[in-house]
Amino acid sequence: MSTSLASTAMALASSGALSSRHTVGQSRPSAAALRAAPSRRRLVVSAVAAPFREEEAVAQQADLSAAAVAAAASRGRVVLESADELRSTWVHRAWVGGATALMAGTLATGLAQVDSSGAAVSAGAAALAAYFLADVGTAFYHWGVDNYGDANTPIFGGQIAAFQGHHQRPWTITEREFCNNVHKLFAPATPFAAVLLGSAAAGAPVWWDVWSSTFLFLCCMSQQMHAWSHMKKSELHPAVVALQESGLMISRRDHGAHHKAPFDCKYSIVSGWCTPLLDGDCPENSVWSKLEQYVYQHWGVEPRSWHEPQADWLEEERPGTSA
């Protein structure tokens, strides 16, 4: 499963649907060079999230007619028109509840087999490894969807548009109800969770039951941890604040650096444990830079982080916060 997450960005780059509309170069260009360039073509990707209050939506988007919404949707943009789209539905809850039950069943089956100190150590090590690898896996996925593809990319297009819209209006994620926010991860995880429960019932090793169920659950929950990292302490449950302050969960301070142009570091959204290993001492020495060079050399596709962001990629001011 972690291999699949780590290779997602490569799959995006190798897809025939991907294209780069950046100026081609052998390495990450400097900001001065970009400003001096006579012309640069715009990025294809754009995503717009709605204001987080209905009354603000009326004030901020009075000119967003039904025709404009339809036109935006036809270009693959994500347009949230009302607060209703931030609420959880029974379908969202069913996906989240069902997948969680399957994962919990796998974990419980594995823990029921812990009958010695050796088995307990094995289970504990498996859980710790799952926590770290979930951080690594989500970081690779985040890097991939931030830098490659657009809303029309097969399979991943919706996630790509959503992540890029998130950079423009990051507060929207905090306005989504829990199941609304995470169901898009729990839904595709459900078949995998069912397979894992079946393997647990068939007598899979303790370490596998613990590792696989914990890893899959944390990957699914990463979107909510991401949401919490955008919220103030006063808006969070004390238990979440405690986990953030202890370093067990990504915090507002740790994730905030990712939302500064050119968005080329701090991609992890579970705990942040893997960030020093992946980011290195500077962007040019990071794992991401090496991967970007590899992708460019083999497929000729540049990441968005090599260029200064366009206006529709810059963070907007949250409605209601201006003086």
What tens digit of pLDDT does each residue of 277-302 get? 999 888 788 999 999 999 999 999 99
If you average pLDDT over every residue of the chain, what do you get? 76
Residue 111 CB contacts under 8 Å (≥ 6 apart), including other chains: 123, 206, 209, 210
pTM to 2 decimal places? 0.71
pLDDT above 90 (res 28): no
Look at residue 27 in the predicted model and tell me its pLDDT. 47
Q: How far apart are CA 282 and CA 266, in angstroms?
A: 11
Beta bridge partners of 82: none
Query: Is 74's pLDDT higher than 80?
Result: no
Distance CA 60, CA 124 (A): 51
- Is the pLDDT reported for residue 173 higher than 90? no
Q: What is the pLDDT of residues 4-26, one digit of tens each?
A: 444 554 454 444 444 433 333 44
Radius of gyration of the CA atoms of the chain, in A: 21
Residue 36: CB atoms within 10 A of its CB come to: 9
Predicted confidence (pLDDT) per residue in 31-62, tens digit: 444 334 433 333 333 333 333 344 444 444 44
* Contact by Cβ (8 Å): 60, 319: yes
- What are the Cα distances from residue 313, in Å, to 70, 148, 167? 21, 14, 6
Identify the pLDDT of residue 80.
Answer: 52
Residue 317 pLDDT grade (very low, low, confident, very high; cuts 50, 70, 90): low
